[in-house]
Chains A and B, each alone.
Chain A
Amino acid sequence: MPIAIGTTDLISILPIAIVSLFGVYLLLQSVFAPRMNRILIPYLGILGVGLAVVGNFFLIGMEGTAFEGMVRVDRLTVVLNFLFLITAALSLLITISYHEGEHVEFLEFTPLVLFSTAGMMVMGSAESLMTIFLGLETMSIALYVMAGFRRTNRHSLEAALKYFLLGAFATGFLLYGMALTYGMVGSTNLTQIAQYFTQNALDVPLVALMGLALIIIGFGFKVALVPFHMWTPDVYQGSPLPVTAYMAVGAKAAGFAAILRVISLSAFSIAFQWSEILWVLAVLTMTVGNVVALVQDNIKRMLAYSSIAHAGYILVGVVASNDQTVPSVVFYLIVYLFMNLGAFAVATMVAGQNERRVNIQYYRGLGYTQPLLALAMAVFMFSLAGFPPTAGFIGKFYIFSAALQSGYVWLVILGVINSLISVYYYLNVVVAMYMQQPVDEKKIAPVLPGVGVVILVAVLGIVYLGIFPGTMLSVLR
C-alpha cells in the first residue's frame, strides 16, 4: 500500500505548516535568543501568522482531499483558516499590550498560541475523525497551559487545573464516541461516514447513534453547551485576559468547525435523529447563558456567560440543517470574532495591571474619561446584543432565518426572547459608561498601540459587516 505525498498534499497544509514551524522556532528563540531580543517574540509570531495568511491564499480555489483522505481542502477550510489566523494575530496584539503590565514573563505564550492555532486549523480542514481528534488535542493542550499562565495568581492556576481535568474528561467521551462510530462504519473517513448514514438513514443502528451523541457531547464541551458548560465561567475568569479572548473566539470557532464537519455535513442525512437533541441543547444554552449573565458584575464572567449564550445562538443555525447552515454559522463566527475580541481588548485596557479592575463598576464614567474607548465598547455591546446596523444583528438575522426556513418557529421565538434578555446586561455596561459617575479618580492608562489596532479592526469589521454583509455572504455561499 503505497503512500505518496505530493505537492498538493503539502500545499493543503501550508498555513498549518508555517504556523507550526514558527511555533517551534519561537519556542527555541524563547530560550536561546539574548534576553534583549526576547520581547520581539510576539512580533515574530504575528509575522508567522501573516505568512500563514499569505500561504492560505494558495488554498483558494482548491477542492478535494489530501494525505489519503485525512485532510480536506474546500472553501470552508480556507475561510476557517483565515478566521483562526486573524484570531491568533489579534490575540497576539492584545498580548503585546497586556504583558507590559504583568510581572510574569510571557515568553512561551506566543509559541503556544501558534501551536493552538495550528490545532484549530487542523480541525477546520479535517476529513477524518482522527484528524479532528489530533487537532482538538493540539489546540486544547496548549490552551490548558495558557489558562494557567499567570502562575502567581490563584485563580489562574485554578482555571488551568479545572480546564485540564474537565477537558480530559470530555475528551474521553469524544474518543469513545469516535470509537463507536468507527466500530459501526468501519472507517474514520468523514465521506465514508456520510455514505454510511445515507445508506442506513431509515434504520440507524443504536450504536452509531450513541457514537454520534457522545461526539456531540465532546464538541459541546469545547463550545460550552449547557450542561457541559460548567468550566467556562471559572476558566474565563481565571485565565489572563488575552487568553480568555483567544479561547472564547478561537476554541469556540474550532469546536463549531468540527460540529459543522461531523454533524452538519457528515450526518446530514440523519438530521432528524439529532436535531431534536440539539434543539433542546440550543434552548438550554441560550437561556442559561443569558439568565445567569444578568447577575454577573465581573466583566470577564459576564462575557463568559455571554459566550455560552452565543454558542446557543450558533447552535440554532446547526439545528436548522439546511443549505443555509454553513454560511450562517460561519458568518456568525466571523462576527463573533470581531465583537468578542474587541470587547476583551477594551476589558484588557480597563483592567490595567494585574487585572485589578475587572468589575463592571470600573466602567462607570468611561464615556467621559476615555470617550473613544467607551464608544468602541458601546459598539461591541450593541453588536453582541444584536442591534442593527451592527454585524451582530445581521449574524443573528441569518441564523434565525436559516432556522425559520426549516420551520423551527418556536426555536426562533425563544432565540429572540433570549436576545431581548441579553440586552439588559450588555446595556448595563453602556449605561455605566455613559450615565454614571466614575468610582475612583484613577486614570486608565492611555490605549496602547497593540490593543488600539485590535479595537479599530474590530469596530471596522462590525460596522462593515453590519452595513455591507453581502460580499462576505456571497463568499460563504
Chain B
Amino acid sequence: MESFVWYIPILPLTGAIINGLFGRVLKDKAGWIASLSVLGAFGLSIQAFLLVREGITFDGNLFDWIVAGNFHTSFGVLVDELSVIMMLIVTGVGFLIHVYSNGYMHGDPGIARYFAYLNLFIFSMLLLVMGNNLLLLYLGWEGVGLCSYLLIGFWYQKPSAAKAGLKAFITNRVGDFGFAIGIFIIFKAIGTIYYSQIFQQTEELLAAGVLTAATLLLFVGATGKSAQFPLHVWLPDAMEGPTPVSALIHAATMVTAGVYMVARFSPLYSLSEVAMAVVVIIGTFTALFAATMALVNNDIKRVLAYSTISQLGYMFIGVGVGAYAAGIFHLMTHAFFKALLFLGAGSVMHALAEETNIQKMGGLYSRIKITAVTFIVAWLAISGIPPFSGFFSKDEILAKAYAYHPLIWVLGTLGALLTAFYMSRLVFLTFFGKSRVEPEREHHIHESPPVMTVPLIILAVLAAVGGFVGVPEVLGGHNHFGKFLEPVFAQAEANLHLAHVSHTVEYGLMAASVLMGLLGIGLAYLMYIKASISPVTLADRFRKVYRLLSNKYYVDEIYQKLVIDPIVSFSRWLWHAVDEGIVDGIVNLSGRLMLLFGLILRRVQTGYVQNYAALFVLGTLILLAYYLLS
C-alpha cells in the first residue's frame, strides 16, 4: 500500500497547482483536469479499500517534516477501515460533484480558480482524514476551513457572499481555537501527536486528569466545523457560495469532519462520560433546534442547510452514545442523499435562472423530470422511509440512542417527524401543485445537461440502495458496514458497556420512527397539496412561534449584541487609545530612534581605507585585551 497511497492526496494537489498556475490558459479545460485528478484519487482509494478489506492497514511516514529538539513530526498517513471509508466518500462524492460543476459553472469567468480551490479542498480533506498525527489533522482542518472560506466568497463581487465567507471563517476560528488548545493539552500531557501512541497512552491522559478537558476542547472545534449549536450560525449563510460547493463542502464532506474526529478519537471519548454526554446533548439539541428552523424557511438551499445541521446532530448522537459505526454509516448515507439534494436544488435553480424562493416554484415535476425523480429519491431517503438508505442509518442511531437513554430516542424521533415534514414541504412546494413561477422565468425552464443529470442519477442510485451495506441483524441482514469498522472501534467499545436492546423493542422503535416519517409526510401533504390545513392561518395562530423560527431564534442578533458589538467597541477603544496612543507612539519613537542610530552609525563609514583599518585595529586591541586582562 505504501507504494501508491501517497498519490491519493498528491493527485488533487497537482490538479490544484496546474489549475492555479495555468488557469488562464486552460479556461474550461480546467474542470476536466480537476475531475480527472479526483477520479484518479478515487481509483486509488478503491485499491486501498480492497487491501484494507483483506486486513492490510497502513500507518507510515513519508518524510520528516519538522524536527526541532525533542519535537519531531513526520508527514505520515494512516489508512485503516475508518479513513478508507472517508477517503472513498470524499473522492467518490467529490468526483461526481466535480463533474456536475463542469456543467453548473460553465461559462463563469473564474472557472479555473473555482476548480483550483475545489481541488485544494479535496487535498486538504484527504489530509484531514488520512493523517496519522494531530498536526496533519490540524493542517487539514485549517486547510478545509480556508477552502470553504474561499469558495463561499467565490463570487466576491457580491457583498453578501464576501460577508458570508468572512462569517464562516470567523465562526470557525472560535472553534479552531478550542481545537488547537485541545491538541496542545494532549501533546503537553503525553508528549506525542501520533494517534497510535496517543491511544496506547490513554491511561496516562486519564491519570493526568486532562482527558475530559482535551476531548471537550476538541469537540469545541467540532461544533465549529460541523455547525453544531452554538456555532451553527455560519452554515445557512454559507449557501451564498456556488451550489456544488454547498453540496461538497457544506453537506457531504467538510462539515462531517467533526464527526470523523470524534470517531477517530473514540478511544479517548469513550473514557469520559462527561464528554460523551456533552456530545450527545449538543447533538440532540442541534438536531431538533435546526429542524424547527427549517420548517418555515422559504429558501431552497437554506432549508437544506438547516437540514444538514440537524442531520449532523444525529451523527453526533451516534458517535456520542458509542454507536460509532452507526454514526459513520449515517455520515455516508447522508453524504449521498444530501449531496443529491443540493445538486438537485442546483439543477432547479439552473432551470429557474437562479431562483431560490420555494414560494415562487411549484409544478416543476413534469418540466424537469430527471431532477424531480432523483430529488424525490433523496427525499424518501432523508425521511427514513424503508428501504431507502437513510432509514437504515438513522434507525441504527436511534436504536443505540434508546439504549443510552430513552429520552434521546424520543427527541430524535420527534426530529425525524420534523425532518419528514419540512422535506415534504420542500418537495411539494417545488415540484407539485400549481406553478407559481414568475412569468419572465417561465419560458426559461429546461432540464439540465447530461453532465449535471448523470451525477444526479448515480447519487440517486446510491441514496436508494446505499443502506443495504448495513442492514441490521434484526432485519435479517449482516451489518457488513459495522463489521468492517469493528477493528477501529474495538478499543473504544471495550471501554464502554453498551446495553443491548431486545429485538422486540427494536422492532417497536423502528415501526414508531417509520410511522413518524409517514406522519410528517402526511401532514405536509394535507397542508401543501390538499390545502385542507392552511399554512397561513397556522402561522397566524402561532404568530409568536412563527416569528421566532423565521428569525432563527434571534441567535445572530444575540451574538451581535452580546459578542460582536462589545468586541467592536472594545477594539475601537484599543485602536484609538492603546494602539494609536501608546503602541504607535512607542513604535514610532523606537523607529525614529533606530533611524537616528542608523544615520549616526553611517557617519563611521567614511570611505577612507585608513579609517577602516584603524577601526579594525581598535577591534583587535579590544579583543586581545579581553584575553590579556581576564
Contacts and interface: CB of A to CB of B under 8 A. Distances in A.
Direct contact of A and B (CB under 8 A): yes
Contact of A398 (B68, B599, B627): B68
B616 A166 contact: yes
Contacts of B605: 230, 233-234, 292
A166 B613 contact: yes
Contacts of B75: 468, 470
B628 interface: yes
A397 interface: yes
A291 B597 contact: yes
B626 interface: yes
B618 interface: yes
A406 to B, nearest CB: 12
Given A213-B623, A213-B627, 19 more contacts: A162-B609, A165-B609, A166-B616, A169-B613, A170-B616, A209-B627, A213-B626, A217-B620, A230-B611, A233-B605, A291-B597, A291-B598, A291-B601, A292-B598, A292-B602, A295-B595, A295-B602, A421-B594, A471-B63
A320 B290 CA distance: 59
Interface in A352-410: 397-398, 401, 405
A25 interface: no
Given A206-B628, A227-B618, A294-B595, A474 B67 contact: yes
22 contacts: A162-B612, A165-B609, A206-B628, A210-B627, A217-B619, A221-B616, A227-B615, A227-B616, A230-B612, A231-B612, A234-B607, A277-B623, A277-B626, A288-B601, A291-B598, A292-B601, A292-B602, A294-B598, A295-B595, A421-B594, A470-B67, A474-B64
B43 to A, nearest CB: 27
Interface in B88-140: none
Contacts of B177: none
A476 to B, nearest CB: 10
B187 interface: no
A216 B628 CA distance: 16
B536 interface: no
Interface in A286-341: 288, 291-295
A282 to B, nearest CB: 14
Interface in B569-618: 591, 594-595, 597-599, 601-602, 604-605, 607, 609, 611-613, 615-616, 618
B66 interface: yes
A414 interface: no
A234 B605 CA distance: 9
Contacts of B591: 424
Contacts of B624: 210, 213-214
Contacts of B623: 213, 216-217, 277
A209 B611 CA distance: 27
Given A213-B623, A217-B619, A166 B598 contact: no
- Residue of B594, B616, B624 ringed by the most chain A CB atoms within 10 A: B616
A471 B620 contact: no
Contacts of B74: 470
Interface in B367-423: none
Contacts of A210: 624, 627
Given A206-B628, A216-B623, A470 B615 contact: no
Contacts of A401: 68-69
B609 A468 contact: no
B184 interface: no
B65 interface: yes
A468 B616 contact: no
Given A217-B620, A291-B601, A470 B66 contact: yes
Contacts of A450: none
A231 B627 CA distance: 26
Given A230-B615, A474-B64, A166 B609 contact: yes
Given A228-B616, A230-B605, A468-B63, A405 B69 contact: yes
A455 B260 CA distance: 43
B616 A473 contact: no
A469 interface: yes
Contacts of B602: 292, 295
A295 B627 contact: no
B623 to A, nearest CB: 5
Interface in A338-356: none
A398 B69 CA distance: 9
Contacts of A227: 615-616, 618-619
Nearest to A477: B67
Nearest to A221: B616
* Closest A-B pairs by Cβ, 6 of them: A470-B64, A230-B612, A227-B619, A295-B598, A294-B598, A209-B627
Interface of A: 161-162, 165-166, 169-170, 173, 206, 209-210, 213-214, 216-217, 221, 227-228, 230-231, 233-234, 276-277, 288, 291-295, 397-398, 401, 405, 421, 424, 468-471, 473-474, 477
Contacts of B607: 234
A62 B70 CA distance: 29
Main secondary structure of the interface of B (DSSP, over half): helix
A166 B612 contact: yes
Contacts of A470: 63-67, 74-75
B613 A473 contact: no
A216 B627 CA distance: 13
Given A288-B601, A471-B63, A397 B68 contact: yes
Contacts of A216: 623
A211 B67 CA distance: 37
Nearest to B604: A230
A236 to B, nearest CB: 12
A468 B601 CA distance: 39
A170 B598 CA distance: 26
Contacts of A221: 616
Contacts of A288: 601
Which of B66, B604, B611 is the most central at the interface, judged by chain A CB atoms within 10 Å of its CB?
B66
A47 to B, nearest CB: 31
Interface in B47-64: 63-64
A66 B612 CA distance: 39
A214 B616 CA distance: 12
A184 to B, nearest CB: 13
A37 B64 CA distance: 48
B231 to A, nearest CB: 28
A473 B67 contact: yes
Contacts of A161: 609
Contacts of B599: 295
Contacts of B609: 161-162, 165-166
B601 to A, nearest CB: 5
A269 to B, nearest CB: 17
A288 to B, nearest CB: 6
Contacts of B68: 397-398, 401
A206 B624 CA distance: 10
- Residue in B67, B595, B624, B627 whose Cβ sees the most chain A Cβ within 10 Å: B627
Contacts of A234: 605, 607
A339 to B, nearest CB: 20
B443 to A, nearest CB: 45
A288 B605 CA distance: 12
B65 A468 contact: yes
A184 B421 CA distance: 96
Contacts of A469: 66-67
Nearest to B61: A470
A477 B615 CA distance: 38
A213 B626 CA distance: 10
Contacts of B597: 291
Contacts of B69: 401, 405
B616 A169 contact: yes
A196 B618 CA distance: 30
B270 to A, nearest CB: 34
Contacts of B612: 162, 166, 230-231
Nearest to A208: B627
A206 B64 contact: no
Nearest to A230: B612
A473 B619 CA distance: 35
A422 to B, nearest CB: 11
Contacts of A293: 598
